[in-house]
Structures are given as C-alpha cells and as structure tokens.
Amino acid sequence: MAEVVKMPKMSDTMTEGVMAKWHKKVGDKVKSGDVLAEVETDKATMDLESYWDGVMLFIGVEEGKAVPVDAVIAVIGKEGEDYKAALDAEGTAAPAKEETPAEKPAEEKEAPKAEAAGAALTDADLEKAGVTVVRMPLLSDTMTEGVIAEWHKKVGDKVKNDDILADVETDKATMEVMGYADGTLLHIGVEKGGAAKVNGIIAIVGPEGFDISGILNQGDAPAKPVADKTADAPVKETAAPAAEPQAAESAEPANADGSRLKASPLAKKIAKDKGIDLSQVSGSADGGRIIKKDIENFKPAPAKATEGSAAPAEKAAPVMAAYIGEEKYTEKPVSQMRKVIAKRLSESLFTAPHFYLTMSIDMDAAIAARAKMNDFSPVKLSFNDLVVKAVAVALKQHPNVNSSWRGDVIRYNEHVNIGVAIAVEDGLLVPVVRFADGKSLSRISAEVKDFAQRAKAKKLQPSDWEGSTFTVSNLGMFGIDEFTAIINTPDSCILAIGGISQVPVVKNGAVVPGNIMKVTLSCDHRTVDGATGAAFLQTFKALMEEPVRLLV
C-alpha cells in the first residue's frame, strides 16, 4: 500500500516548512532511513528521512516552495502502484492529465465566443480611438487614496496637453493632476470633495461624442495595467521629485510683478534641474502657463553691460550642478526564520504588557575575577558566561521571575533553563543552557560556544532551543551601551546586557575611573511586578559586583 509522506512539525513554533532540496526524484528507490529532502524550518535546515521502503511515486512540492505542517509532500509505494487513492484519502488532488482538444467540454469551447462578446476595451483600442483614461495617480509612497480638492475643467470642456484637470489632496500635500491628452472632457468620475482609490478612474478625455459606457463597465481595474500609460504618466511626472514635495509647494515661483507664475510640475522639475529661472520663461499654454517645451526651447538673454561701468564686474556666484540620483531597491522572499521571528515577537510585544527596569553595575571586581579564573579554567570564560551564571543563581532566589503566563494559570518553574540569544545570518536563535544554576562557569562557557558554532552552521536541533524559562540577550560586544529587548514568550522576562564602559565614578568620596555595565530587564506585567523585578536586579547586581559568590 502506498504511504503518504507529510510535512513533519520539526519544532514547537513551526507552522510550515520550505523544501530546500530534494535528494530523491520520482522513480528512485527509497529505503528506510534514506534522506528524502532537506527542509528549512524557522530555526534551521533539517534532514527529512524516510520510514518506508519502496519507490518514490509522487512529489507534491517543488524545491523552494513552502508547505504547511501535515500537508502531503510525497508518496512512497511499490513500483507501478496507483498512488491516487492515497492522495484522495488525504484530500489532495493528483496532478491532472493535460486535456486534448477533443476532451475539452463544450462549455469550454464556447468560452472564447462569450468572452469576445463581452470583452472590455483594451488600451490599444482606446489609444486607437484617441481616448485617455485619467486615473488617480500614486503621488506619495504612503498614499492609498486621493481627495479631489478642486476641478479646473467640467464635462464638455476642451482639454489640451499639460492642462491642469484637478487639484488632488493626498496624505502629504495638495498636488496638481493633468490629463496629458488633447480632446474633450467626457466624464468626471469623482465629484469635488470625493475620494478615489489609487488607480481609480477620475476622468476620461477623448473625441467629443465618444461612447464611454464600455470603459465605465470595466470598473476601476485597467484592462492591461502594464500598458496603462495614462495611469503611469501622472505618477512618474508628478511624484518624481518625491524627496522634497513639501518644499516645492512652499517655494512657489512668482512673476516680476508678484503674480503667481503658472507652470506644469514637469516644467518646474526640468527648470530646477537645468537651473533656469521660471520668471524669465514665456509660457505658450493657456493663460501664459509654462509647459515642458517652453523650458526645452528657452534661451537665456545675454547680460546687458552697465553704462559707465569702469569697476570690474562682481564675481558671479558659482552655479552648482544638479545631482540626479536613482531610487533602487532589491526585494528578497522572507525566510522561514524571519517569518517566525516577526510573528512571535509581534505577538509578544502586542500581547504581553512590557515594562523595563535599568540598573548600572560596577564591573571592576568582575573584570579582575574573570582574569584570575581564566588562569585556571580549561576554556576561556567571557563576561557573558558570568552573566548567565549570575542570572541562574538569582532566579533560584526569585522564583516569581522564573515564571510564565499560561492563560488561566501562572507556571512557576523550579528548574532554571537560560536561553542565550545568538545572532546568525538569517536572524536570531535562542539555544538553552539547561539547569544553569547547577553548572560550573567553564561548563556554561563550553556549551554556549558549542551552541554558537552549531547555530551558525544551522546544525541546532529542536531540543537545543526548546524549554527556556528566562532569556539573556547581550549586545555589549557590539559597542551598545544599553537597549531594551522583547520578551521571548512564554518566558516572563528577558535581560538585555550592554557593554562595559569606562566612566568616572564616585568611590569613598573621590571621583575615580570605573567600569560600568548597564542592564535592562524587560518584564511581563501579567506575571512580574515592578518591585519583584527590581529585587531580582538587586540580587543580580550583588552577584556581578562580588563574583566570588558565584563559586559557592
């Protein structure tokens, strides 16, 4: 009988896995224990082994694709065996055979006719008819809709290229929208004061008498978005100077007599890039409005010599060449690890009411003690090893901090498992030092180093990162003085460790050089109160300032 292979749940937080690589293909012999594939989970890339002997009959997921936990990914059985019954039992459709023209149902044959009968006007049809559909442009990166603040044309008015059709109020400013077409304004889709979604139809310009019902029946979605020049044009020309939209509005150019100077946004941009003073340009559009061709044809008048000028002319101010940059970006698919980090930390921050307690610790004694311990320790001890040990000892004295919120109950853990946050290329992993209160500093140091090596090689197993009761996150080695961390649920607290800074401190009434480390405890207020967290930090501080207490 054919056996169905499902996506296993490889960690407590895993909801789906990405098929990183198949080691078998359809038709290959499979033995129990063979590696079928590599699966990328939210924590690591792990091997998926077969528990059956047989032949690979079916593969349901391509490499690089994600599949939910418990979804069918393959079928193993005897050579030539019909595996469709096994897929049907799981509710998974077998790959359909390609239908020949003779096999296609009559309804499908008639589909092209029906489609042709009700076909919407395409961009090519509109362009041939001289019709331009004006859509709400994307005038800022955060804009989702625009409000028509004012219409400068009404239905039936003649429209010329570069005429302003309307003023649109966005989330950032009020900006002008043009038709970029010659013809008659046939339709206004949004009245003054009304809002339109980005890319929604706001007007139609074309030959007088043209029937626009076919365009309106299409709705707001363009027939061919890629070829929709009328939608793209306003976005491109109006939103191009996105770096300074508000500055352009506030610095409106004026004529010599103080009257408002009329110019299209594109003309303003080109004039700014070329360093042309718009007040010296004569406009050729209606009302003396300056358009693109006026800027391109502009020739500055030669400077007139001053009568009786004997003194040397003043040195002209240098003209800075305009720098035109290009906005570029690269998008990459979100990895499984990053998806889970985003999901779990968002849930933690927006579900658990966080509060933060910060304390400064004198590290002079810890620096001296670490140096002495490293003379005898089989492995080199780090300050983070001292922190993990001190946290573990302090938790035994403050069990309320070593707890977790479980909905109807609060769990008070009697064991101490410290999660140590480790940065890897794709994100963050938190392997767990179990029963850290009973382990020596050298044992803790060896385990953390081993975790770090295996985390970077993606060799950690689910048992390595499950079961923490408290978490430590240390950014001191990166030069960070202090920070706040998001609780690693279901833990109640996480301790953020900053770097050791040399600062002046007061000792015995005198200002002397000191070594200070700041730590911040993030607490879940559902389980830990301010006084409880403060008492824990006091114990932790005492242990770090007298590290000999960690050895007894």
Strand 164-169 and strand 54-59: the pairing is: unpaired
* In the predicted structure, residue 242 carries a pLDDT above the cut 60: no
Confidence of residue 523 (pLDDT cuts 50, 70, 90): very high
Q: Provide the pLDDT for residue 175.
A: 83
Point out which residues pair with 266 in neighbouring strands: none
Percent of the chain at pLDDT exceeding 90: 37
Residue range 389-419, pLDDT digits in tens: 999 999 999 999 999 999 899 999 999 999 9
* In the predicted structure, residue 500 carries a pLDDT above the cut 90: yes
Q: Provide the pLDDT for residue 348.
A: 94
Q: What angle do CA 133, 138, 144 make, to 5 degrees?
A: 110
* In the predicted structure, residue 327 carries a pLDDT above the cut 60: yes
Q: What angle do CA 276, 278, 282 make, to 5 degrees?
A: 115
Q: Provide the pLDDT for residue 388.
A: 97
Which of the 8 DSSP states describes residue 304? P
Task: Give the pTM.
Answer: 0.56
User: And the tokens for 343?
Assistant: 């999901």
CATH 3.40.50.720 fits 123-210, yes or no: no
The residue count for the chain: 552
pLDDT (mean) for 344-355 = 94
Q: Provide the pLDDT for residue 254.
A: 58
**Helices (H) and strands (E) in the chain — how many of each?**
14, 26
* In the predicted structure, residue 322 carries a pLDDT above the cut 50: yes
Residue range 100-135, pLDDT digits in tens: 444 444 444 443 433 333 455 777 788 888 888 888
* Dihedral sign computed on CA atoms, order 204, 209, 210, 215: positive
* In the predicted structure, residue 265 carries a pLDDT above the cut 60: yes
* In the predicted structure, residue 495 carries a pLDDT above the cut 90: yes
Contacts of 54 (CB under 8 A, 6+ apart): 2, 3, 29, 30, 76, 77, 78, 79
Query: Do 448 and 485 contact (CB within 8 A), yes or no?
Result: no
Residue by residue, DSSP assigns 93-137 as: PPPPPPPPGGGS-HHHHHHHHHHHHTPPPPHHHHHHHT-EEEE--
Query: Do 548 and 386 contact (CB within 8 A), yes or no?
Result: no
Domain 3-89 matches domain 339-550 at the CATH topology level: no
Q: Provide the pLDDT for residue 113.
A: 39
Q: Ramachandran region of residue 28, left (φ > 0), alpha (ψ -120 to 50) or beta? A: beta
Pick the more confident residue, 253 or 234: 253
Q: Provide the pLDDT for residue 162.
A: 77
Q: Which residues are catalytic?
A: 525, 529
Q: Per-domain residue ranges for the chain?
A: 3-89, 123-210, 339-550
pLDDT (mean) for 49-57 = 87
pLDDT (mean) for 148-172 = 87
Which helix or strand (DSSP H or E) is residue 206 part of?
Answer: strand 201-206
Pick the more confident residue, 137 or 293: 137
Residue range 185-236, pLDDT digits in tens: 999 989 998 988 888 899 999 998 888 888 887 766 554 443 344 434 444 3
Pick the more confident residue, 221 or 166: 166
Query: Do 163 and 290 contact (CB within 8 A), yes or no?
Result: no
- Virtual torsion, Cα 62, 65, 71, 77, nearest 10 deg: 20
- Give pairs for 162-167: CB < 8 Å, separation 24+: 162/264, 162/266, 162/267, 162/285, 162/289, 162/291, 162/292, 163/285, 163/286, 164/264, 165/134, 165/203, 166/202, 166/203
Point out which residues pair with 501 in neighbouring strands: 516
* In the predicted structure, residue 303 carries a pLDDT above the cut 80: no
Confidence of residue 246 (pLDDT cuts 50, 70, 90): very low
Q: Provide the pLDDT for residue 313.
A: 53
pLDDT (mean) for 468-482 = 95
Task: Give CATH for domain 339-550.
Answer: 3.30.559.10
Which of the 8 DSSP states describes residue 225? G
Which of the 8 DSSP states describes residue 288? G
Residue range 353-373, pLDDT digits in tens: 999 999 999 999 999 999 999
User: And the tokens for 307?
Assistant: 């009568």
* In the predicted structure, residue 247 carries a pLDDT above the cut 50: no
Confidence of residue 304 (pLDDT cuts 50, 70, 90): low
Task: Give the C-alpha separation, 165 to 197, whole Å.
Answer: 17
pLDDT (mean) for 157-162 = 85
Residue range 481-492, pLDDT digits in tens: 999 999 999 999
Going through 363-482 in order, the beta strands assigned E by DSSP cover 403-405, 410-412, 418-420, 422-424, 427-429, 432-433, 470-474
Q: Provide the pLDDT for residue 501.
A: 95
| Mean pLDDT value across the chain | 82
CATH 2.40.50.100 fits 3-89, yes or no: yes
Confidence of residue 286 (pLDDT cuts 50, 70, 90): low
263-267, 333-337, 431-435, range with greatest mean pLDDT: 431-435
Q: Say how many C-beta atoms besides its own lie within 10 A of residue 504's C-beta.
A: 9
Query: Do 216 and 121 contact (CB within 8 A), yes or no?
Result: no
Q: Which of 56-60, 97-101, 198-202, 543-547 has the lowest mean pLDDT?
A: 97-101
* Dihedral sign computed on CA atoms, order 383, 388, 394, 398: positive
pLDDT (mean) for 171-198 = 85
